[in-house]
Amino acid sequence: MPERLRSAGAVALAGAVVIASCASRAPAREGAHEDATGSRAVHGRQAAAGRVERLRVKVLETLPHDPKAFTEGLEMAGATLYEGLGIAGQSSVRAGPPGKPPTMRAALPAPLFGEGITLLGRTLWQLTWRDRIAIERDTTTLKELRRVPYPDDGWGICLDRTRHRLVTSDGSARLAFRDEHTLAKTGEVTVTEGGRPATGLNELECSGAAVYANVLFTDRIVRIDPTTGAVTADIDASGLLRDDERDPRSTLNGIAAVPGTDEFLITGKFWPKMFRVAFAPARPASRTAR
């Protein structure tokens, strides 16, 4: 997410994007004279299918993070953390152990504005914002291998290994599906929460069958079923930084699954810290005594 979009605010962003909503259809009834018990069972299944889990981040470890990093993408492979940084003239990709200075770095020449990254084994894709190109890199050296056309705004990207495709965002409520090797679009889905478009989808992480997305200008992460576009969990990541640790330009952005675990690393633009977290059920709201 580019820095200059922050001044416009989330409302301006939403107004700039045409959102196409997908109306969900209830399954057809099997019989014209379904009894009351069967009807309740059908409605119960529908309610369960549309339920959004309320989760929170449980901090397991706090790590240092470069407070000057305009984080656009975050992903782990083995014990190596890859991070993509934005801002024209300051964009780069770097890699190294989490919480330690990077051991590799590759800068993008101005005026390229770096965006999301994802890994495909020996190679890495790096999107650019409005430069209309994506860059393929060698993961062991970060050397640029080639550039391919990318006609859309580049935001987040992740590899859906279960379906052998890339998933990308553009700041709207849409997720696009793309070929792993050419980035050609093969389909898309509109993400909805409670029947309404879930706008502001930013940095992405594919984990298992789900897609996780930072929500622009918020301390929220949503878990998405990419088959239906339904938000299946709303994750509260607020309160991780103290007020005196926040840069006025900072915002949550950056989520990476920790391989072999159900844990994640999360950070933000200009954040001085990174957190290894698990997602736990949200605490129930306290009731006021009468």
| Cβ(42)–Cβ(59) below 8 Å | no
Q: Which of 18-27, 155-164, 230-239 has the lowest mean pLDDT?
A: 18-27
**Cα–Cα distances in angstroms (integers) from residue 132 to residues 92, 112, 222, in the given order:** 17, 10, 27
Question: Count of CB atoms within 10 A of residue 30's CB?
Answer: 8
pLDDT value at residue 38 = 40
Q: How far apart are the first and last CA of the chain?
A: 46
Residue-wise pLDDT tens digits, 102-151: 999 999 999 999 999 999 999 999 999 999 999 999 999 999 999 999 99
Q: What mean pLDDT do residues 246-263 have?
A: 95
Task: Count each helix (H run) and each strand (E run) in the chain, helices first.
Answer: 2, 22
CA atoms within 13 A on the CB side of 204: 34
Question: Which residue has 């900072």 as its token pair?
Answer: 250
Where does the pLDDT of residue 43 fall: very low under 50, low under 70, confident under 90, or very high at 90 and above?
very low
pLDDT of residue 36: 38
How high is the pLDDT of residue 4? 44
Distances in whole angstroms, Cα of residue 75 to Cα of each of 16, 34, 95, 156, 260: 29, 50, 10, 11, 14
Mean pLDDT of 212-222: 97
What pLDDT does 269 receive? 97
Mean pLDDT of 156-182: 97
Note whether 212 and 258 are within 8 A (CB): no
281 burial via Cβ count (<10 Å: 0-12, 13-18, 19+): exposed
Give Cβ neighbours of residue 30 (< 8 Å, ≥ 6 apart).
none
What's the pLDDT band for 284 if we cut at 50, 70, 90?
A: confident
Please provide the average confidence, as pLDDT, over all residues in the chain. Answer: 86
Residue 148: predicted pLDDT: 97
pLDDT digits (tens, 9 = 90+) for 6-42: 444 433 333 333 333 333 333 333 333 333 334 343 3
Instruction: Choose between 12 and 248: higher pLDDT.
Output: 248
Assigned token pair, 280:
């736990």
Task: Show the tokens assigned to 259.
Answer: 């391989």
Query: How much is the pLDDT for 2?
Result: 55
The pLDDT, as a whole number, for residue 49 is: 54
Token look-up 């279960």 returns 162
- Specify the pLDDT at position 16: 35
User: With 0-12 CB in 10 A as exposed, 13-18 as middle and 19+ as buried, what is 71?
Assistant: buried
| Residue 162 burial (10 A CB sphere; 0-12, 13-18, 19+) | exposed
Considering Cα of 25, then 27, then 32, then 35, what sign does the dihedral take?
Answer: negative
Yes or no: say if 221 and 214 are a contact pair by the CB < 8 Å rule: yes
Euclidean distance between CA atoms 231 and 234, whole angstroms: 7
* pLDDT of 157 above 70: yes
- Cα–chain center distance at 270: 17
CA distance 221 to 238: 10
d(C-alpha 210, C-alpha 1), whole Å:
21
Question: Does the N-terminal peptide bond of residue 2 adopt cis geometry, omega within 30 degrees of 0?
Answer: no
Q: Give the residue-averaged pLDDT of 265-274.
A: 98
Residues 178-187 pLDDT 10s? 999 999 999 9
Percent of the chain clearing pLDDT 90 (strictly above): 78
Compute φ and ψ for 13, nearest 5 degrees. Answer: -60, -45
| Residue 35 to residue 48: CA distance in whole angstroms | 20
